Amino acid sequence: MPQLHLRSEESSRPTDVSRAISRAPGKIILAGEHFVVLGAPAVAMAINLYSEVKVTPKNSPGVDVDADIPLRFLAGKNRNSGVSDPRQLLRPLQLAAEATLKQVVAKDRGLRVNVECEIPVAAGLGSSASTTVAIISAVARSRGIELSRKKIFKLAFIPENFLHGKPSGVDQAACIYGGLIRFNRPSNVRTVRLEKEPAIVVCDTGIHHATGTLVGGVVRKSRREKKDFRDYIAKVRDISNGVVNALREGDDVELGVLMYQNHDLLRKIGVSHPKLDHLVEVARRAGGLGAKLTGAGGGGCMIVLCRSTRDRDRMSRVLRREGGTPYKVSMDATGVESQSA
C-alpha cells in the first residue's frame, strides 16, 4: 500500500491576495468507526457531496462566518444532535479560520468566511470535517499561502476537538486526502488503490446525533468492559484489513460480508439505532451485498454495497419506501482544493 504523498512545506511567500475559494468532500466510513478511537484501523472514502468556502476581506478586524448548511435536523423531534442553537455550529467554523490566521501570521484586516455545505449535518457524512478543512485551506490561500495537507490536518483538530471532544482524525483525513484511506492514527494514514469503485448508496435515517456524546459513551463503555473490547478491537482490525484487501482486489462479495460483520459489532457496542438496523435488514433482504451504519451512528446514515452501479437505482427506491433518504454517491478522488479568486 503506498504511503500518502504529503506535501511537507507550504509556499513561504505570503502575498496580498485576499479572496479565495475552496471545496472539500464529505466522507463515509466503510469499516472501523468508533473502534478507531480505541486504536483499531478504519477505512474511509471521500464522497462527492461537498462544502464550498469563499473568503473575502473586510475592513474591521476579526472573522465573520456565514453558513448555508442543511439544518433541518434541528426541527421537531431530532433533539439529540446536541445543538440547541444553530449559531453554535458556526463557532467551530470561526475557530478554524482564526487558528489558520494565527498560523499564517496575518495580523492585518479581518475576513469574511462564507460556507455552503450540501452535506447533511450530524448524519455521519463528515460535514464538520469537510467545512473545517475547506475553511482552513481557503483562509490560508487568501493570504497567498498553500498549506500542506499535513498542516491542514493538524489545524483541523482545533475545531474538531471543540465540536467532538477527542476525535480520531479519520474524518478530516478523508476530507483532506480524498479517495480511499486506511487510517490507524494521525501518523499512519495510507491511501488505498482500488481495483474498482464500490457501488454505494448512502441512506439518511433523518435521525441525527452528536458525535462527541456517542464517542464519549463508547470510550467509557470500553473502560468498563475491557475484555470484550479487546476482542472487538481485534475483530475490527481484521475487518478493516479485510476491507482494504477486498477493495484492492475488487472482491465485492467479501467486502459486503465484512460490512455486515462490522455493523453487528457496532450494534453490540450500542451505537446503532432501530431505524438503522431496519434499513440494514431491508438492504440485506433486497440483495445488498453488504450494509452498515456509517460514522458515529445513533441515527445518521447507513451505507449499502450494491451489486452494480445500475442496481443502486433499485436499492434507492427500496430504501426510500422504508422512510430513508438515499444518496447515490461516488468517490471523490481529489480531497480539499483551493485557489485565489
Site for ligand MEV in 89-108 (CB under 6 A): none
State the cell numbers at 308: 452494480
Residue 263 is a binding residue for ligand MEV (CB under 6 A): no
Query: 111: which strand partners?
Result: 57, 63
The set of residues, in sequence order, having a beta carbon less than 8 Å from that of 192 and lying 6+ positions away, is 1, 43, 179, 180, 181, 182, 244, 247, 248
Answer whether 31's CB lies under 8 Å from 124's CB.
no
Site for ligand MEV in 12-41 (CB under 6 A): 29, 33-34, 36-37
Among 133, 175, 296, 303, the residue binding ligand MEV under the rule CB under 6 A is 296
State the cell numbers at 312: 443502486
Residue 204 is a binding residue for ligand MEV (CB under 6 A): no
Q: Segment contacting ligand MEV (CB under 6 A): 81-89, 131-139, 165-173, 232-240?
A: 165-173
Q: From the CB of 202, what's the least distance to ligand MEV, in Å?
A: 13
CA 319 to each of CA 31, 86, 125, 264: distance values in angstroms, whole numbers, following the listed order: 21, 29, 18, 20
Among 295, 324, 326, 335, the residue binding ligand MEV under the rule CB under 6 A is 295
Strands (E), 152-294: 180-185, 188-191, 200-204, 290-294
Instruction: Name the residue nearer to ligand MEV (CB basis): 139 or 232.
Output: 232
Residue 332 is a binding residue for ligand MEV (CB under 6 A): no
Answer whether 197's CB lies under 8 Å from 330's CB.
yes
Active-site entry in 66, 68, 171, 277: 171
Among 40, 170, 175, 269, the residue binding ligand MEV under the rule CB under 6 A is 170
Q: From the CB of 44, what's the least distance to ligand MEV, in Å?
A: 8
Among 40, 215, 283, 304, the residue binding ligand MEV under the rule CB under 6 A is 215
Residue 211 is a binding residue for ligand MEV (CB under 6 A): yes
Answer whether 296's CB lies under 8 Å from 171's CB.
no
Residue 171 is a binding residue for ligand MEV (CB under 6 A): yes
State the cell numbers at 288: 445488498
CA–CA gap between residue 133 and residue 101 (Å, rounded): 14
The set of residues, in sequence order, having a beta carbon less than 8 Å from that of 230 and lying 6+ positions away, is none
Q: From the CB of 269, what's the least distance to ligand MEV, in Å?
A: 11
Q: From the CB of 34, what's the least distance to ligand MEV, in Å?
A: 5
Is residue 171 among the annotated active site residues?
yes
- Active site residue ranges: 171
Q: Residue numbers of the site for ligand MEV (CB under 6 A)?
A: 29, 33-34, 36-37, 124, 167-168, 170-171, 211, 215, 295-296
